[in-house]
């Protein structure tokens, strides 16, 4: 059997995302993915998730953990299976960002879906708006296909607002992992190159009108409508951001997507 005709296993797909395949096998997997769009979308989501984890927790991974979580100290007291279990547990804490020492000892309540949505949306904004060649998976000139695809993956009919009257054109969109599952990400661009993004996905939070929050050199307006959370992110110019968010909000509120995508 030709190497390019082999069935690609999930382990190989994971190795492909991690950059662990040989050049020949990597080319074969890419050829196989080109004819398996569902698997290609899954791989793209895995890669996106890995990038988001690196963007959010990369600095944490380089920090020295407190003495009570020192793997070396643990290994001096335990051997064999117990050592492996302790190391695995600490690694899981680092990757998930849930270890107590990440919070510097501050006890906080579990954030709501909307709070996590907003945080993830700002992370995605910072990660993708700087991309020149690959800011999106599907370009804006394929709007009907983009909206239909993302609606299907999110599991709810979506709408990509028309923002031309506020000077923005649709660059395109991509599928991202979100706090409650698959999440849609639409990117818009102004005449001078400034970019804004709309991040949306399903939520169990109650409906709410526009609310404002700030991040690192950027900001967002967020709201919930018909069990969908929306986060409009952009440069921290509140008046302009509010105008754009209000335009998107009004379109979605007045003209909700038809059921069935």
So what's the pLDDT on residue 110? 44
Note the pLDDT of residue 144: 95
When pLDDT is cut at 50, 70 and 90, the band that residue 120 belongs to is very high
> For 53-63, how does the pLDDT look when each residue is reduced to its tens digit (9 = 90+)?
666 655 555 55
Question: Which of the four pLDDT bands, split at 50, 70 and 90, describes residue 174?
Answer: very high
CB proximity list for 101: less than 8 A, separation 6 or greater = 65, 66, 69
Rounded to two decimals, what is the model's pTM? 0.59
CB 101 within 8 A of CB 112: no
Report how far apart, in Å, the C-alpha atoms of 196 and of each of 69, 149, 209, 242 are.
Answer: 41, 21, 19, 12
Helix axes 37-62, 23-34, angle to 10 degrees: 130
Q: Is the pLDDT of residue 203 over 80?
A: yes
* Beta-ladder partners of 235: 218
- In this prediction, residue 145 has a pLDDT band, given cuts at 50, 70 and 90, of very high
């Amino acid at each position: 059997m030709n190497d390019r005709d082999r069935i690609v296993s999930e382990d190989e797909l994971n190795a492909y995302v991690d950059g662990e395949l040989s050049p020949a096998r990597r080319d074969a997997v890419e050829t196989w993915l080109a004819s398996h769009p569902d698997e290609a979308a899954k791989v793209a989501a895995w890669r996106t998730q890995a990038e988001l984890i690196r963007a959010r927790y990369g600095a944490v991974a380089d920090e020295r953990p407190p003495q009570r979580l020192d793997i070396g100290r643990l290994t001096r007291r335990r051997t064999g299976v117990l050592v492996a279990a302790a190391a695995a547990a600490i690694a899981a804490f680092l990757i998930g960002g849930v270890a107590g020492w990440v919070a510097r000892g501050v006890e906080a309540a579990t954030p709501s879906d909307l709070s996590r949505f907003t945080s993830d949306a700002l992370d995605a904004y910072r990660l993708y708006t700087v991309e020149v060649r690959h800011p999106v998976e599907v370009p804006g000139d394929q709007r009907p296909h983009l909206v239909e695809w993302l609606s299907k993956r999110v599991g709810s009919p979506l709408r990509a607002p028309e923002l031309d009257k506020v000077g923005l054109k649709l660059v395109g969109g991509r599928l991202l992992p979100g706090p409650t599952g698959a999440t849609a990400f639409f990117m818009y661009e102004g005449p001078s190159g400034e970019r804004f993004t709309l991040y949306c996905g399903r939520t169990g939070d109650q409906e709410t009108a526009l609310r404002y929050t700030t991040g690192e050199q950027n900001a967002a307006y967020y709201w919930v409508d018909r069990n969908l959370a929306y986060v409009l992110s952009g440069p921290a110019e509140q008046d302009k951001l509010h105008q754009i968010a209000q335009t998107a909000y009004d379109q979605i509120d007045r003209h909700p997507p038809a059921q069935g995508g």
